[in-house]
């Protein structure tokens, strides 16, 4: 007999200048999530567009947190979690769109196994094709495997093979932060996201710490939602490339052995030195300086 579902989910969204995508996301939440089953918390990272007006005018039932500055993805979610009252947190990107009420399935999986700490649902591209939303453990070997998997996924036949391999619920090392279902008490016990990650690798770090505590991370293909990948960083690609490398280096220093840290740094120096000589992109030099000066 299935356990009765509890009204205890806090959906947390972090927004920064997402006025063009925010209505679709919030409308989908209103359509598919029953109001007596969850609360919705939106954290605004000091947006300079009309995001706040959209929420105030059309979505008055949403709990809105207005931050005085852009503190990043992890810190934004932490701010939302402090206000959350749910037993479970559903961390959701604003460039996602629900196509069904996926909460009952996620809650049921959590209730069925107390050792499950995080669940990632299936993500779809806007054309309904599979979007890779799981990854092996971060490290030299793991990043190589992940890069190979994403490269293979560019071919439709290979993507179908990957999807067939993930037709059932599987334990994985990492699920991406675009749709991230976690026990609130576990999130709070771990102190939430490490706020030294402004953007990128924060969910990988949290997944690693969850696994260190003996909890499982699972991917379920039985419920899905649409994710418009990369929307929030397209307009500032070069700056975000620097931020990606900053977070990557910090992650390695936090979790990986010294030989992997040195290997990564040497690889990145040669990679971006070559890129700078080829393109004269000043951001390549900025990444090299970041690597050399990182402590």
What digits encode the pLDDT tens for the residues 149-171?
999 999 999 999 999 999 999 99
pLDDT (mean) for 98-108: 96
Q: What pLDDT shows up at residue 35?
A: 83
Domain ranges of the chain: 9-232, 235-293
pLDDT at 151: 92
Q: Is the pLDDT of residue 236 over 80?
A: no
Terminus-to-terminus CA distance in the chain, angstroms? 54
Q: Name the CATH superfamily for 9-232.
A: Spore Coat Polysaccharide Biosynthesis Protein SpsA; Chain A (3.90.550.10)
Residue 240 has pLDDT above 90, yes or no: no
Task: Please give the average per-residue pLDDT across 136-148, as a whole number.
Answer: 95
Evaluate if residue 94 carries a pLDDT over 50. Answer: yes
For 85-102, what is the mean pLDDT?
Answer: 96
Whole-number Å distance between alpha carbons of 268 and 273: 8
pTM above threshold 0.75 = yes
């Amino acid at each position: 007999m299935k356990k009765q579902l509890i009204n205890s989910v806090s959906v947390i969204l972090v927004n920064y200048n997402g006025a063009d995508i925010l209505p679709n996301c919030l409308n989908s939440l209103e359509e598919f999530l029953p109001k007596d089953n969850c609360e919705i918390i939106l954290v605004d990272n000091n947006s300079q567009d009309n995001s706040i007006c959209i929420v105030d005018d059309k979505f008055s039932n949403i709990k809105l947190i207005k931050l005085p500055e852009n503190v990043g993805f992890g810190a934004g979610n932490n701010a939302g979690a402090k206000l959350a009252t749910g037993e479970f947190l559903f961390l959701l990107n604003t460039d996602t769109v629900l196509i069904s009420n996926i909460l009952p399935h996620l809650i049921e999986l959590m209730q069925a196994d107390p050792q499950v700490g995080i669940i990632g649902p299936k993500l779809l591209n806007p054309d309904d094709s599979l979007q890779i939303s799981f990854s092996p453990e971060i490290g030299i070997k793991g990043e190589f495997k992940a890069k190979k998997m994403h490269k293979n996924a560019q071919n439709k036949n290979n993507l179908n093979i990957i999807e067939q391999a993930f037709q059932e619920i599987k334990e994985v090392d990492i699920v991406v932060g675009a749709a991230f279902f976690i026990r609130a008490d576990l999130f709070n016990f771990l102190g939430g996201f490490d706020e030294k990650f402004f953007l990128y690798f924060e969910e990988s770090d949290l997944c690693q710490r969850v696994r260190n505590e003996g909890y499982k991370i699972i991917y379920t293909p039985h419920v899905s939602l649409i994710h418009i990948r990369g929307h929030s960083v397209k307009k500032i690609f070069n700056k975000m490339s620097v931020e990606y490398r900053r977070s990557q280096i910090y992650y390695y220093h936090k979790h990986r052995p010294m030989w992997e840290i040195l290997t990564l740094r040497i690889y990145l120096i040669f990679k971006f030195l070559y890129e700078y000589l080829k393109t004269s992109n000043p951001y390549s030099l900025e990444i090299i300086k970041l690597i050399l000066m990182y402590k």
